Amino acid sequence: MINVTLLLIPALPLLGFIILGLGYRSIPKKLASLIGPGTILISFILSLVTLFSFRLSPFAFRFFDWISLGPVSIPFEFLIDPLSILMMLIITGVGFLIHVYSIGYMSHDKGFNRFFAYMNLFIFFMLILVMSANYAVMFIGWEGVGLCSYLLIGFWFKNQQFNNAAKKAFIMNRIGDLGFLLGMFLIFTTFRSFSYQAVFALAKTMSPGSETMVAITLLLFVGAVGKSAQIPLYTWLPDAMAGPTPVSALIHAATMVTAGVYMVARSGVLYVLAPVTMEVMGITALATMLLAATIAIFQNDIKKVLAYSTISQLGYMFLALSVGAFTGAMFHLMTHAFFKALLFLGAGSVIHALEGEQDIRKMGGLKNALPKTYWTFLVGTLAIAGLPPLSGFFSKDEILGNVFGSSLPLWVVAVGVSMMTAFYMFRLLFLTFAGKNRGSDPQSLKIHESPSVMTIPLFILAILAFFGGFLNIPEIMGGSGMLKEFLAPVFADAVRLNQLQPHHVAARLEWSNMVVVLLLVLLMVYVAYRRFVKREPETVFGEAKMSTQMNIEIGANNRNFFIRLIENKFYVDEVYDYLFVRPALRISDALHKFIEERFIDRIVNGTGTLVVRFSNGIRYLQSGHVGMYLFFMILGILLILFINIFL
């Protein structure tokens, strides 16, 4: 019975995809609105059923042998344990809310059915990713979500800019995928299996710090870097905002980008046995967090701010993983899914109300026009800034606590990023909703709140973002740490084997840290308030404008340079273009012209020409002159004679 349930959970969205895909023109919108979200709802309910019938020990279900050739055995197998159940619930739960929202958001779009088909396909692949019992089946989901991301980013495919963004996402993902594949191969050659249970059981017996383990974990991490947009494979995520906003909410905030975090958490045993990789992961995460937060401060597109914020928050999760705080990372993954999806959907609501405007410099004063959007967005902002008692506070705090126990400098930087997060998120909130509207007049006349099919999911997500933290209140606050207990058996081995055991931090120190961080964050909120609400935004932007102008009388000073640098995202895209894209195209042309045409083909055609030239020369032997023939004949005879007589 449970077998069927498990199969249905991913199968229903797949069915939804097939039905909506085949009937993309024939199925009426009302029916598609039922099928699309409906399948996800049923999957969510079934996931809940799985949760409640789960009895402590993980169980694996083998459906059939996918690839089975001698020693290579890859069954299509699901592993249900607390970690996968948590992910299933997030994916189907948040996914369902986003699907419902999309009914409203995409209601005017001709590709309505196609949209839900792709979204359902995405949920299918994402579920396969988290429910899988071995790395190979996970890879199916891994690449599958990359495909859906491509299809959905480039959903409005008439626009070549959007198509470019989609292509960029897919290719960057694939670069990571190569690392993942190589890591998988190394796992197979080391452990003779792809299955989690087999690999982890063997890994536990290995000594820490072996080169193989470092190689495996690094390669897998490369995959995670691609999928979860860390340095250096992150530039696809801001571009991915070209897709419809529900896509950004689902794929590029709540689920797909968290696949890397899930994968590392799942492979915890392997990672704790490779401290080098953990360090690399920590440094990468820190750098990413810092870079993304810095860029976010200066972005003016509502979705881009959120995109960079996502990259930064993912950095938080990887930071947590790098110090061995697996539960902390998953907790933050969950709360982030709630508030980030909320923020994106709220942004979508704003964009929808403003008929497509995304530049926050042209927004403002929407608080009264879009009250439901405003209040839910506020909840999301409070959550991401980490203000109690919202969920973000608890999850960030858990991470910060663990990081503090591990290394002070890391903690300081992480706290700094928290401050920046609060700053840029409140900047976003204030510039969008507070003050007076800076948009054009026709725009401001048409502003209307979104329909309830869009606002109800906002509400539900707001509730989750608000109260979600209570699932894991730490002990020092008198809580039971439910999530921690729930996930404990999954991470037990990893935690036990962790070489970088964080030092135990005294309760009082923890409390004081929490308070310090809270105060700093509140400070930043105040600063943002002062800057973006109290002052006229014109002066804010006036200042910004002045500093970006080449102020020739005064001369460009350092601050101008830095601001310009950050505003242009540190020119990373341009650097990549120069380093990789252009040389690749040049090499391609060069290969074609020089080696292919002039070298190899010359040799081949040359052989032919050689033969022709040779025969051209030889044919003069046929002079037609009989005398010459006679001469050679006699010469030949004499030669034969001599040879016979003298040799």
Partner 1 sequence: MLTFILIFLPLLAATGLFFVKEEKWARNLAFAMALVEFGISIAALVQYFLYCHCHLLFRLDWLASYGISLKFGIDGLSMLMVLLTTFLVPIIIYTTFGQKIDRTASFYSLIFLMQAGLMGVFTAFDGMVFYIFWELALIPAYFIAAFWGGKDRIRITFKFFAYTFSGSLLMLVAIIFLYFRTPLPHLFDHIWLYASNLTPGEQIWVFLAFFIAFAIKVPIFPFHTWQPDTYVTAPYPGSMLLGGLMSKMGLFGMIRWMIPITYSVLNTTNGLFIILPVTGIVYASLIAIRQDDLKRLIAYSSIAHLGLVAAGIMVLNAQAMQGAMIQMVSHGINIVGLFIIIQYIETRTKTTSISELGGIAIKAPRLAAFFMIILLGSIALPLTNGFVGEFLILLGIFKYNMVFAAVAGLTIIFSAVYMLWMYQRVMLGNTNAVTEQVSDLSWKEMIPLIAIVIMVFWIGIFPGMFMKMAENGVGQIIGIIK
Partner 2 sequence: MNTLTTIPINHYLIFCSMLFSIGVIGVLIKRNALVILMSVELMINSVNLLLAAFSAYSNDPAGQIFVFFIMVVAAAEVAIGLAIFVLIYKTTHSIDIDVLNKLKW
Residue 499 engages partner 1 in binding (rule: CB under 8 A) = no
Task: Convert residues 172-191 into a mask of x (bound to partner 1 by CB under 8 A) and - (unbound).
Answer: --xx-xx--xx--xx-xx--
Query: Is residue 147 near partner 1 by the rule CB under 8 A?
Result: yes
As a whole number of angstroms, the distance between CA 289 and CA 310 comes to 9
Q: Is 625 in the site for partner 2 (CB under 8 A)?
A: yes
In the structure encoding, which two tokens stand for residue 81, read together? Answer: 């344990």
**Candidate ranges 80-88, 164-172, 198-206, 624-632; the one touching partner 2 (CB under 8 A):** 624-632
Kindly write out the interface string for residues 568-607 of this chain, putting x where it contacts partner 2 by CB under 8 A and - elsewhere: ----------------------------------------
Q: Is 221 in the site for partner 1 (CB under 8 A)?
A: no
User: Under rule CB under 8 A, which residues in 155-214 are in contact with partner 2?
Assistant: none
Per rule CB under 8 A, is residue 361 in the interface with partner 1? no
Binding-residue pattern over the window 188 to 217 for partner 1, x denoting contact by CB under 8 A: xx----------------------------
- For residue 583, how many other CB atoms are within 10 A of its CB? 12
The span from the CA of 88 to the CA of 81, in Å, is 11
* Residue 540 DSSP one-character state: H
Distance CA 195, CA 73 (A): 9
**Which partner from the list partner 1, partner 2, none does 627 bind, CB cut-off 5 to 8 Å by kind?**
partner 2
Q: Which two tokens stand for residue 390?
A: 């919202």
Distance CA 177, CA 221 (A): 10
Hey, what amino acid is at 426? F
Pairing of strands 72-80, 59-69: antiparallel
DSSP 647: -
Minimum distance of partner 1 from residue 92's CB (angstroms): 21
Query: Residue 604 interacts with partner 1 (CB under 8 A)?
Result: yes
Structure token digits, residue 264: 């590392």
User: Does 620 contact partner 2 by CB under 8 A?
Assistant: yes
Region 116-145 residues binding partner 1, contact defined as CB under 8 A: 136, 139-140, 143-144
Q: Does 577 bind partner 1 (CB under 8 A)?
A: no
Single-letter residue type at 573: D
Q: Give the residue from 548, 370, 367 showing the smallest Cα distance to 451.
A: 370
Q: Should residue 558 be labelled a site residue for partner 2 when binding is judged by CB under 8 A? A: no
Q: Tell me which residue of 377, 378, 302, 386 sits closest to 346, measured CA to CA.
A: 377
SS3 366: coil
* Site string (450-469) toward partner 1, x via CB under 8 A: --------------------
Residue 31 interacting entry, from partner 2, partner 1, none, C-beta within 5 to 8 Å by type: none
Going by the DSSP 8-state scheme, the letter that residue 68 receives in this structure is E
**Touching partner 1, residues 8-27 (CB under 8 A):** 21, 24
Q: Which does 556 bind (CB under 5 to 8 A by kind): partner 2, partner 1, none?
A: none
Cα–Cα distance, 332 to 353 (Å, whole number): 30
Of 25, 554, 624, 647, the residue at the interface with partner 2 (CB under 8 A) is 624
116: Cβ–Cβ under 8 A, 6 or more apart, which residues?
A: 16, 20, 32, 33, 35, 36, 37, 99, 102
Ramachandran sector of residue 503 (left: φ over 0; alpha: ψ -120 to 50; beta: rest): beta
Residue from the set 70, 442, 478, 627 that interacts with partner 2 by CB under 8 A: 627
Residue 212 binding partner per list partner 2, partner 1, none, with a CB distance cut-off of 5 to 8 Å that depends on partner kind: none
- What sign results for the dihedral spanned by CA atoms 529, 531, 534, 538? negative
Take residue 144 and report the two structure tokens written for it. Answer: 């599958």
Which stretch, 238-246, 397-405, 422-430, 599-607, contacts partner 1 (CB under 8 A)?
A: 599-607
Among the listed residues 634, 639, 640, 641, the single contact to partner 2 using CB under 8 A: 634
Q: Which of 337, 374, 324, 382 is nearest to 353 (CA)?
A: 374
Please report whether residue 645 would count as binding partner 2 according to CB under 8 A. no
In the complex, what is the shortest distance from the CB of residue 624 to partner 2, in angstroms, rounded to a whole number?
3
CA end-to-end distance (rounded Å), the chain: 96
With CB under 8 A, what is the number of residues at the site for partner 2? Answer: 11
Residue 605 touches which of partner 2, partner 1, none (CB < 5 to 8 A by kind)? Answer: partner 1
* Whether the Cβ atoms of residue 328 and residue 395 lie closer than 8 Å to each other: yes
Among 157, 570, 594, 632, binds partner 1 (CB under 8 A): 157
Instruction: Please report how many Cα atoms fall inside a 13 Å half-sphere around the Cα of residue 416, on the Cβ side.
Output: 14
- Taking CB under 8 A as the criterion, the residue among 26, 558, 622, 644 binding partner 2 is 622
Provide CB contacts within 8 A for 548, sequence distance 6+.
560, 563, 564, 567
110 belongs to the binding site for partner 2 (CB under 8 A): no
CA distance 446 to 332: 38
Does 646 bind partner 2 (CB under 8 A)? Our answer is no
Q: Which of 195, 202, 253, 162 is nearest to 74 (CA)?
A: 195
- Regarding 576 and contact with partner 1 (CB under 8 A), the answer is no
Q: Which of 605, 630, 632, 640 is the binder for partner 1 (CB under 8 A)?
A: 605
Residue 223 engages partner 1 in binding (rule: CB under 8 A): no
Q: Does 617 bind partner 2 (CB under 8 A)?
A: no
Report whether 262 contacts 87 (CB < 8 A).
Answer: yes
Question: Is residue 610 close enough to count as binding partner 1 by CB under 8 A?
Answer: no
- By CB under 8 A, name the binding residues for partner 1: 21, 24, 64-72, 136, 139-140, 143-144, 147, 150, 154, 157-160, 163-164, 167, 170-171, 174-175, 177-178, 181-182, 185-186, 188-189, 584-585, 587-589, 591-592, 595-596, 600-601, 604-605, 608
- By CB under 8 A, name the binding residues for partner 2: 619-620, 622-627, 630-631, 634
